[in-house]
Amino acid sequence: MPDFNTLATRLDTAVYFHLADPATLDGATVRGMFVAPWTQPRLGTMNTGVVAPTLMLRDADAAEAAHGSRVGFQGRYFDVVSVEPDGTGLTSLVLREVMP
């Protein structure tokens, strides 16, 4: 029987695969979780606090990301302005939309 870490990794991989959205990072397809101010619900009279679009990727997928990298998501394009690993195996790419 697999040990706990192996089982946790399998579960994490399965959940991430099913919940993540396809995007591109410098032309390569990646799966990540995209959040942006325009996609967040309002809670009462307060916004949820999301101020910049962000794509959260696994560290391995974000390894080549750098300031100025290009992200594509659902027909919109963004430049990476900050790469922020969180220490849990995920990295947030803070984005700025590129206007056509």
Question: How much is the pLDDT for 42?
Answer: 56
3-class secondary structure, 84: strand
Distance of CA 43 to the CA centre of its chain: 23
Of the two residues 37 and 74, the one the predictor is more confident about is 74
| Residue spans per domain, the chain | 22-97
Q: How many alpha carbons fall within 13 Å on the CB side of residue 61?
A: 24
pTM score: 0.80
- Taking residues 24-49, what's their average pLDDT? 77
Would you state the CATH architecture of domain 22-97? Beta Barrel (2.40)
Question: How much is the pLDDT for 59?
Answer: 93
Q: Which two tokens stand for residue 13?
A: 């991989």
